Chain A
Amino acid sequence: MQNNHHKEHLYKILVIGDLGVGKTSIIKRYVHHNFSPNYRATIGVDFALKVLNWDQETVRLQLWDIAGQERFGNMTRVYYREAMGAFIVFDVTRPASFEAVTKWKEDLDSKLTLANGKHVATVLLANKCDQGRDVLTNNGIKMEQFCQENGFVGWYETSAKENINIDEAANCLVKHIMASENDMLQSEVPDTVTPQLEKDKGGTCSSCFRSQ
């Protein structure tokens, strides 16, 4: 178990956000390196697998592309289980999709916590940035501050169409996931005493988490 992080990592990553913001497009761009304006609406959930070489380690990302309609909320909740990270996507040309971001984040945090009680690493994606940045510039919100207040580990202006910042955003997420995994693994080693690192550790451990 301790040596796991030297070999292979398997991370489940959620891709959520309002309907039609480009979740599927981002995944297709990231995994298949292409873009089409003609993706079909996602019903339920779709899947993709991306394998990364990361400092001589292998990282397998299991991407869960979850349908965006609010109505499905109840039903897709089960898909959150055991995820290690998430992208929350909005469409920069649709203010309403940005307003929904906090709702998605709250939903995620209320249904999913890591073994150490922390929330999963989440990166905010401002997609379709090739079509204008109205939402970002006109609402007076400072994105850095917004991310800090809402617990995002980072944010990126992305374009699946023009292939802007997709890899960067994914690398950022993977980096944070690995950091939190290390954090948890350290707390798991039984004969190592690291009192100063684990201030707020409750009674949870990663095996409890897995059987959740």
Chain B
Amino acid sequence: SFGSMFPVITTPEATHRGQVRLGRARQVKGGEGSSMPQLISPLSIFSLRSLFSRRVKDSRPVEQRDPGWKLFGKIQPREGSIKDPKRIQKTPGNLYNRAGPGNPTSPRQSVRKNLDFEPLSTTALILEDRPANLPAKPAEEAQKHRQQYEEMVAQAKKRELKDAQKRKKQLEDRCKLEESIGTAAQTWNQEILPNWSTMCTSRRVRDLWWQGIPPSVRGKVWSLAVGNELNITHELYNICLARAKEKWNTTPAPATEGEAEDAGSSDRESSLELIKLDISRTFPQLCIFQQGGPYHDVLHSILGAYTCYRPDVGYVQGMSFIAAVLILNLDTADAFIAFANLLNKPCQMAFFRVDHSLMLTYFAAFEVFFEENLPKLFAHFKKNNLTPDIYLIDWIFTLYSKSLPLDLACRVWDVFCRDGEEFLFRTALGLLRLYQDVLTCMDFIHMAQFLTRLPDLIPAEQLFQHIASIHMTSRNRKWAQVLQALQKDQERGSPVLKR
């Protein structure tokens, strides 16, 4: 008889996962959790670039534009916005939404902005009278059930309130962050960028830099910091692109056997097909680089032009991710210039040319600092035979853009542009330090799985605190010195690096 009394007990969370059947609430169409977009909604895709670019066209939050996320008829979905329009305007919205299933834009955020409304889950919980065709319940049982019902409502209410409070806090934090980003952008634009060469090494700028470059000036700062040692001009980019296009047009799409063999393996590798295959697999959750997406051709062009600019390097997996991040922050030709110069750095050259012994030297240098900073975890890794190549290859090749949430990856890029290759390895150690406790409890396969697929939500500030507490000195030697010493050892044929 319990079931007949409580036809529906559900929370929106449960309906999203489809674990609890919706009874009465199912009548509300279009607002069901099942229609929750796995991918970012089309509107927000196009404002995604505003995450990175100067032009912020539509700063309204996604949830506001989304019509009818109504789960339960009783709640006014726009209640929050009516009561506090100012606050909503300030909502940074898509600025911090990470695309993808890890953090889907929640309709509930707008619904539950203030604390005065009734708990959602209880509105679907109805204490029904017993159907007339059934014998009446004993008074004692009815009383017991009523009491249980009240307890459940009270508990749900408590939980909802807590949730709402948490959301409110998050919203406030976002607004604060938004404001500080605005101030920082002004500082960068008006003070730092005009005086770049004199200011870029100053203490104050370095500190600001560490805190993250505002998205609106990020591309510019990256360009300046990476530099253009290669002296690539926009014209040169256009020439390379034209050559690439020529090549694509003369090669029939499905390469015949004879041609593929004639072309030799390196050329085959740099072929259009490889790039094509990878472009669709670059940030697929953003839906902007895929066939038909707004940046598909741009990504294709940059990668193609690069294979013509550096046929000796060609296309190597991982490049598509780097180019994509640059495209999100810079115009095409500038993105190419930054791309080519970035790849020209010693560490990137070692990796993208797959210079195996030099890569091993980098791993060995990394291990020196690993042991120094995290001796316990280092021993645990050693015991389990977990070598750095297993997790570092992905991290270094894509400069963390595949393994970290995009906004966090961009922050790593910020400091990487400031500090160089050393910061990539320092970040790795910061990540290991952040997850030290969980990792210590894992065996080989679980550690490997964990590190090759990091959690969807990584606390940015915490990560940067951990990175900050990694010391990049070992017995008074800096990263570059350790690396150099290992390189010399290797040339002498030291067995340390031999596998």
Q: Which residues of A contact B (CB under 8 A)?
A: 19-20, 37-41, 43-49, 62, 67, 69-72, 74-75, 78, 95-96, 99
Contacts and interface: CB of A to CB of B under 8 A. Distances in A.
A43 B397 contact: yes
Nearest to A103: B265
Given A47-B448, A69-B274, A39 B397 contact: no
B354 A41 contact: no
Contact of B317 (A39, A45, A67, A99): A67
Contacts of A39: 281, 284
B449 A19 contact: no
Contacts, number: 85
Given A38-B285, A74-B354, A96-B255, A19 B317 contact: yes
Contacts of A99: 257
Nearest to B286: A38
Interface residues of B, number: 40
A45 B390 contact: yes
A74 to B, nearest CB: 5
A161 B96 CA distance: 33
Given A48-B449, A69-B269, A72-B317, A43 B285 contact: no
List the 7 closest A-B pairs by CB distance, nearest first: A44-B393, A38-B284, A20-B277, A41-B281, A43-B394, A44-B394, A47-B448
Nearest to A49: B445
A69 B316 CA distance: 8
Interface of B: 254-255, 257, 260, 265, 269, 273-274, 277-278, 281-285, 314, 316-318, 320-321, 354, 356, 359, 387, 389-391, 393-394, 397-398, 402, 445-446, 448-449, 452-453, 499
B353 to A, nearest CB: 9
A71 B316 CA distance: 8
B354 A49 contact: no
Given A19-B274, A19-B278, A41-B320, 5 more contacts: A20-B281, A49-B446, A62-B445, A69-B274, A69-B317
A78 B317 contact: no
Contact of B393 (A20, A45, A62): A45
A49 B260 CA distance: 37
Contacts of B453: 46
Contacts of A46: 452-453
Contacts of B260: 96
A168 B254 CA distance: 31
Contacts of B274: 19, 69
A95 B257 contact: yes
A75 B269 contact: no
Contacts of B283: 40
Nearest to B255: A96
A39 B446 CA distance: 21
Nearest to B256: A95
B393 A43 contact: yes
25 contacts: A19-B277, A38-B281, A40-B402, A41-B278, A41-B318, A43-B317, A43-B318, A43-B402, A44-B397, A44-B452, A45-B393, A46-B452, A47-B445, A47-B452, A49-B446, A69-B317, A71-B317, A72-B317, A72-B354, A74-B354, A74-B356, A75-B393, A78-B499, A95-B254, A96-B255
A47 B449 contact: yes
